[in-house]
Structure 1
Amino acid sequence: MPTRITILSLATILSCWHLPSCLAQDDSGVPSNLEQWKLPDGVRYEHKVRQEPRPLHIHVLEMDLSSSNLAFAVIPGDDPDGDGPAEVALEHPRELAKRAGAIAAINTAAWAMLTDPATGKKPGYSIGKAADVSGWVAQSGRLISPPQSGYWSVWLDNSNQLKMGMIASEKELLEKGIQAKWAVSGFRGILKDAKVLVEPSQVRHPRTAVGLSQDSKKFVWIVVDGRQKGYSEGVSEEELANLLLESGCSEGINLDGGGSSSMWILNNTSELTAANRPSDPTGVRPVPVVLGLLQQ
């Protein structure tokens, strides 16, 4: 039976946090030309605009994991050298999402650029350039990048349970009998058992995060714009963790951020469009892998 599609008109959500690191809210600067997105039942998008303690644009996608019409996919760039040192080639995040027919996507894992053998130098962030992904990345039983100590991961196990934690090595996967339908890493965990794991900081950047509710029924993606004075000036990891708490999460991971932070959603003309305003000077930075939301 075809799944009914609901057209959601965006409303800017403005409500007090009541959290230890409260970011007060104000409705000044709310965009007047909010776009409509085409999202299935079980998915909700919120665009939060705040003026205190600094200008912020926060993008939240909440997914009901009990919805049978939703699925996820880890979508990497192509392997540019087979058995060579590169794991993936950088690609525009929208193009990666489109490969899997995703209706929404976010950037995920960090990476290191590999030296170009022709020049002996590491190239800039350009489409097609070779990269080494940081942490565990897998899809449909294919290991794209092995687990790595210090990088937390989110994965779907063989019993269809979403998990979050730090897996340090392939050996640990074997010892613990962990098998994943898909997995992707970020940086460190920032929320565990509803406790913030990171200290307050003045280091603020664009951020991307994933979170999971205590009952494991809600999966949350957050992208916070930053490095754009007067529009959105970014958050610390501790503030990001509190955003996840606000969205009902008890677990959370800080993914790659900065100029890589982007969220893509299918709009009402069936085009994947950036919900946020990426800070990269080129407009959209190519990335090695995205996490996509699929409609079954």
Structure 2
Amino acid sequence: MLNKLRLIPVLILFAAVSVSCEKDSVAQAPVIIESPLTKKIADSSGVVAQVFSDTLFQVTPGIMETDIHYLSTDGYAMHVFILEIDTKHPGLKLKAGTPYNASAYAMQTVPDMAKYLETGNAKVMAAVNADFFNTSTGEPRGIFVKDGKVIKTTWANARSATFMGVTKTGEIVIGNRAEFAEQQNDLREALGGGPMLVRDNQVLTQTDLTVEPRTGIGMNASGKMYFIVVDGRSFYYSNGITITRLGQMLKACGATIAINVDGGGSSTFMIKHPLADVWQVRNRPSDGTNRAVGNAWMIMAQ
């Protein structure tokens, strides 16, 4: 009887080792990388240790989505969602989304903002959340220009340091406070942002070392725009990122200038799904549901 009992743990151990080896062989199977952005980020950002999955598809002509599940170089599970937008593609334009498509301060989820912005001739194809905001009133922390009207020119704090806007001639601009002051009367749309992440193709040094869900926006000289959301606050799904690493990812994508916008539970990555006429939030907001935010950036298609 004693001999039989001694055999049991040996058999269990053998089974456990066999299962472990099978799992390791599956985990180490090569991933076929479909997206050029995934390859760029994996090769040159210093952020990715291993890619687990890579998805690439067209949202609409001129807009490509890349989704990456990866292991960070810090050893954490991560999910990132990226839109590469050809701003020179005919019929695409950038529009500031606000609650109820109004100039008054309020809060609304990004999909609900899209409902008020969309018209019969212009469809909202993609969006991300934008500026930091007062969670009681919805007032943005940075500047605010809508439909050619300059509504807010003040900045809440040092973190509110940047803006993105569309000029009255249709040019998309990203800049700092001084550049906004120079250009504000020429802008048709503008929303504030947080720290500058990339400038003149260089990743900038940051003092904020916190790890959170993040949203970033970048551009290059040829008119490619990048919307990026990195999920966080979920250990087994995605752990978040520092704004320095967010800048490294945006530079790897090709952005020569990039800014950080609101993150945390506000981070929202939405598309008009190519297989159904519905808006879909593709990431997993850390609140567990879509947060009502102060404003958003929308890509419209005609």
TM-score by length of structure 2 reads 0.77
Asked whether the equivalents of residues 147 and 167 of structure 1 are also in contact (C-alpha less than 8 Å), the reply is no
Give the drift of 1:38: 6.9
Find out whether 1:287 has 2:293 as its counterpart.
yes
Q: Which one of 74, 92, 111 corresponds to residue 70 of structure 1?
A: 92
Find out whether 1:161 has 2:171 as its counterpart.
yes
Give the drift of 1:199: 3.7
Q: Which one of 18, 24, 41 corresponds to residue 61 of structure 2?
A: 41
Letter in 1 for 2:282: A
Give the drift of 1:169: 9.4
Indicate the SS of the match to 1:45.
strand
Cα RMSD (Å): 2.7
Aligned-partner Cα distance in 2 for 1:289–1:160 = 20
Structure 1 224/89 Cα, relative in aligned 2: closer, same or farther at 3 Å?
A: same
Give the drift of 1:113: 3.2
Indicate the SS of the match to 1:25.
strand
Asked whether the equivalents of residues 101 and 113 of structure 2 are also in contact (C-alpha less than 8 Å), the reply is no
Find out whether 1:242 has 2:248 as its counterpart.
yes
Letter in 2 for 1:43: I
Could you list the structure 1 runs, at least 4 aligned residues long, displaced by more than 4 angstroms after superposition: 10-14
Give the drift of 1:142: 2.4
Q: Which one of 185, 194, 197 corresponds to residue 187 of structure 1?
A: 194
Please list every run of 5 or more consecutive structure 2 residues that lacks an aligned counterpart in the other structure: 1-32, 119-123
Q: Which has the larger Rg?
A: 2
Indicate the SS of the match to 2:42.
coil
Alignment correspondent of 2:108:
91
Asked whether the equivalents of residues 79 and 89 of structure 1 are also in contact (C-alpha less than 8 Å), the reply is no
Asked whether the equivalents of residues 105 and 292 of structure 1 are also in contact (C-alpha less than 8 Å), the reply is yes
Please list, as runs of the form range in 1=range in 2, the aligned pairs for 1:112-191 lying within 5 A after superposition: 112-114=134-136, 130-148=137-155, 150-167=160-177, 172-173=181-182, 178-191=185-198
Q: Which one of 129, 132, 137 corresponds to residue 110 of structure 1?
A: 132
Indicate the SS of the match to 1:58.
strand
Alignment correspondent of 1:261:
267
Indicate the SS of the match to 1:286.
coil
Find out whether 1:218 has 2:224 as its counterpart.
yes
Letter in 2 for 1:218: K
Asked whether the equivalents of residues 164 and 251 of structure 1 are also in contact (C-alpha less than 8 Å), the reply is yes
Equivalent pairs: percent with the same residue? 23
Q: Which one of 105, 111, 117 corresponds to residue 100 of structure 1?
A: 117
Alignment correspondent of 2:50:
25
Aligned-partner Cα distance in 1 for 2:243–2:174 = 17
Structure with the largest fraction of helix: 2
Aligned-partner Cα distance in 2 for 1:63–1:147 = 30
Aligned-partner Cα distance in 2 for 1:103–1:227 = 27
